[in-house]
Structure 1
């Protein structure tokens, strides 16, 4: 009988791919689903002062975890608006519409973990290339990102 031992995945800081975003933002690609046998995907997101991270969407399959590393993040969780400071944690279950961005007047740095993992590195790369947003809409099932009406998010973000 052959016994297969599990193995760890290690992403050294200097080996992680960085996808630049506008106004000093960036995705640092840490682990995609293929690196973790589908268990999770992880990236680090740095957002410039008051910048949006994602418009309202939900994940049909995955739970998304946000650990705020620096700054303040503003979240819309269903109908609830929440600001989370460095050290705080947000866990969004499948099916809950959510949006997020750096809080007004601050930059933010956040670790994002999606579990179970979905291959999303190419999605994040496409966001970095400022690809027309409508091109991503047709990929919603592939990346498990399902966009919803963003009127509530726009009103929260524009009210500042």
Structure 2
């Protein structure tokens, strides 16, 4: 049973950081525990040209992205769009999407998933895979648990 939602403040110094190759990193802000499942939130920094994820969808959650810096490339359904600092992207459940930093420079964004699903274990495992500490097949049994369902994406880079 989810906990009762609580007001919360997460300082950057208190957020867990998951390092990625090339200087990329996740800042894990809220894993939906304190919010009683209302939302999860993280910040992601990607080096130039780095993929954030391949095409996937969420069955249960809406995902909101806000670009803090740089230019991101987003695939939403079959449309590839470059979005810069200050852009807001909202992806409803069932919508195929992928994203990464443009080749022009690093990019940073803030992401919110609602309703929240405890996904920090997923981001930690992605970090291990990106650093070569685990294989992609280590994710095979985690897709349902974290509501991340990968699909083909002919227009993704």
CA 1:138–1:6 in structure 2 vs 1: closer, same or farther (change >3 Å)?
A: closer
How far did residue 35 of structure 1 move?
Answer: 2.1
1:4-15 to 2 correspondences below 5 Å: 7-15=6-14
Runs of 4+ more than 2 Å apart: none
Q: How far, CA to CA, are the matches of 2:153 and 2:78 in structure 1?
A: 11
How far did residue 150 of structure 1 move?
Answer: 3.3
Q: How far, CA to CA, are the matches of 2:39 and 2:137 in structure 1?
A: 26
Q: Which moved more, 1:103-112 or 1:46-55?
A: 103-112
SS at match of 2:105: coil
Say whether 1:89 aligns with 2:88: yes
Alignment partner, residue 64 of structure 1: 63
Q: How far, CA to CA, are the matches of 2:110 and 2:98 in structure 1?
A: 15
How far did residue 137 of structure 1 move?
Answer: 2.5
Q: How far, CA to CA, are the matches of 1:43 and 1:77 in structure 2?
A: 20
Q: How far, CA to CA, are the matches of 1:69 and 1:101 in structure 2?
A: 14
Tell which structure's C-alpha radius of gyration is larger.
1
How many residues align structurally?
150
SS at match of 2:22: coil
How far did residue 6 of structure 1 move?
Answer: 5.8
CA offsets 1:2-46 (integer angstroms, 9 cap, x no match): xxx963121111111100001110000000111210000000000
Alignment partner, residue 135 of structure 2: 132
CA offsets 1:30-81 (integer angstroms, 9 cap, x no match): 0011121000000000000110000000000000001000000000000001
User: 5+ unaligned residues in a row in structure 1: which ranges?
Assistant: none
Contact 2:63 2:113 in 1 (8 A): yes
Q: How far, CA to CA, are the matches of 2:142 and 2:121 in structure 1?
A: 11
Task: Give the RMSD, CA atoms, in angstroms.
Answer: 1.2
Alignment partner, residue 142 of structure 1: 145
Q: Which moved more, 1:55-64 or 1:7-16?
A: 7-16
CA offsets 1:114-151 (integer angstroms, 9 cap, x no match): 00000100100011111311221321110000000133
User: 5+ unaligned residues in a row in structure 2: which ranges?
Assistant: none
Alignment partner, residue 23 of structure 2: 24
Alignment partner, residue 155 of structure 2: 152
